[in-house]
Structure 1
């Protein structure tokens, strides 16, 4: 898995590091705040990790 992570764009690696600090589950809004980027920018940074299956979307809750 470490080799897969090293192949990702630097922005994706950095956003995954921040996500890991939050925990094994995180929400986009929190990650965007922590990264000091918009949710759109954060989503773009996560996209390659999602495509590679390194992160999985969770069920969306309606509160």
Structure 2
């Protein structure tokens, strides 16, 4: 029997995003030639996380009825 509660999807996504942002910024500091690419990757990770937090619009559901 499993007594541990599994982390929710939002918690897993937050941890993965945090690891990705920290790793990208660390690599941007180390490798100056590839800094713009690592910063773009960081922006992508943050914007994707924010997009997942925004609830979906229900307007498409209303159009179907």
Structures share a fold, TM > 0.5? no
Structure with higher Rg: it is 2
TM range (shorter): 0.3 to 0.5
TM-score by length of 2: 0.33
